[in-house]
Amino acid sequence: MIQTDVLVIGAGPAGSVAAAKINKAGYSVQVVEREKFPRFVIGESLLPRCMEVLEDIDMIEELSKCGFQEKFGAKFLREDEISDFNFTSQFTKGWSWTWQVPRADFDMALIQQVIDRGVPVHFEHTVTGIQFMDGEESISDVVDKEGNTFQIKARFIVDASGYGRVIPRLFNMDKPSVLEPRKAVFSHLQDIRRASFDEPNRIIVVSYVPGVWVWIIPFSNGNTSVGFVGNREFFDQYGAYQTEQFDNLIANNPMLHARFDQVEKIFEPRKLEAWSSKTDQFFGDGFVLTGNVTEFLDPIFSSGVMFATVSSHLASQLVIQKLEGKEVNWADDYSKELQRGVDVFKSYVMAWYDGTLEKIFYAKNQDPLIKRQICSVLAGYVWDLNNPFVAEHEVILKKLARLIDAKLKLNL
């Protein structure tokens, strides 16, 4: 049996942040990861708020050596209309840039730094059972790819398993999301015509038809991630298989056709469906959930890695306090704090799909202050209550949309 202070389940960004932060504080950590790294995953456009976390765990310098594509903003396109947000023009003080990354490379770079700091990482191992004992200690059953088993005894567990959702599944904690189930069809393409179309230093979001959008995420290696997101029924009219659907969707949009028609695919188009999930319990005696284990919303605003890193960073600080023998108010200091940010982005996701945000993004004569405030949300600064577009997120977008409608009527 292996004994450790903290067992981290998952070696993605959330797991890497937790392991690095807790190790930095001088505590022993074991990481168990089901997959073999490097491995493919979407969520390739980071947000500036991530950089504060990476800076705190001393990873910025090493990651900078990887040569990832710098990202300075987000551009939204609807036919000939453009709404461009530059992170240097935001309301909240913070980082003004981040990266766009092939996640296989980015995640491997993160966990390699954890390994280099002496943390044991067990790839291709699965946690199959957890027994919580008196106090907060636990014994976890672990099996490797050959079927060999062993146990890890830990003082605390950080579940950063992402889509694996280890603890929620083992203890029946999953809840249905309130968001409509959607589907994504995506691939990586050789972006040989990039220079003729756009700058590579931002994510491009294309409004395809109402309720359907496209991500364009250029990488520094010359490839670009392209994905279509909409309800499941939308894709059926474009063919029976992902490749057929992807090619037909490219062909049916003049800009996408001009840029990506007949370019080489790095891999055949793949699909991801019904990704939104949640749990109402973010912690318990002896464990805490971080990243996508708590709730994954939607890829529209690239919030996945941001929530993974920020939630894991916050949880790790509280785990350290717990290991030091201090009292921790998990409900207030973790669950409520994390949920505040999730709720802000959830409002923006819902406003995107019901058309409210498109109305705001493409409005004429935009107020510069309002644009800066919204830009801060898009940069991931969703805990800044000095920003009315954070503090009043449930109502302010609808109010602004109604004001835009009223101005349009007056001009008529």
pTM of structure: 0.94
Q: With bands split at pLDDT 50, 70 and 90, how would you rate the model's confidence at 177?
A: low
Higher pLDDT, 291 or 12: 12
Which candidate, 102, 112, 123, places its Cα nearest to that of 62?
Answer: 112
pLDDT for res 147: 97
Amino acid at 403: L
Question: Per the structure block, which two tokens stand in for 202?
Answer: 């931002």
Q: Rounded CA gap, 309 and 288, in Å?
A: 14
**Residue 249 host element (H or E):** helix 242-251
d(CA 345, CA 351): 10
Query: Taking a C-beta distance cutoff of 8 angstroms, is the pair 101, 219 a contact?
Result: yes
Please check the confidence at residue 2 and state whether its pLDDT lies above 70. Answer: yes
Q: What is the pLDDT of residues 310-344, one digit of tens each?
A: 999 999 999 999 999 999 999 999 999 999 999 99
Helices 103-116 and 13-24: crossing angle in degrees, nearest 10, is 20
Count CB-CB contacts under 10 A for residue 133: 11
Q: How many C-beta neighbours within 10 Å does residue 209 have?
A: 10
Backbone angles phi, psi at 68, to 5 degrees: -65, 155
What confidence tier does 227 reach under pLDDT thresholds 50, 70, 90? very high
pLDDT digits (tens, 9 = 90+) for 82-110: 999 999 999 999 999 999 999 999 999 99
Residue 241 DSSP SS3: coil
pLDDT in tens, 14-44: 999 999 999 999 999 999 999 999 999 999 9
> For residue range 334-376, what is the model confidence (pLDDT) as tens digits?
999 999 999 999 999 999 999 999 999 999 999 999 999 999 9
Is the model's pLDDT at 412 over the cut of 60? no
What totals of helices (H) and strands (E) does the chain contain, helices first?
Answer: 15, 20
* Rounded distance between C-alpha atoms, residue 345 and residue 236, angstroms: 29
Q: CA-CA distance, 91 to 169, in Å (whole number)?
A: 40
- The whole-chain average pLDDT of the chain stands at 94
Structure tokens at 407: 């101005």
Q: Which residues pair with 100 in a beta bridge?
A: 45, 69
Stronger pLDDT, 279 or 301, i.e. the higher one? 301
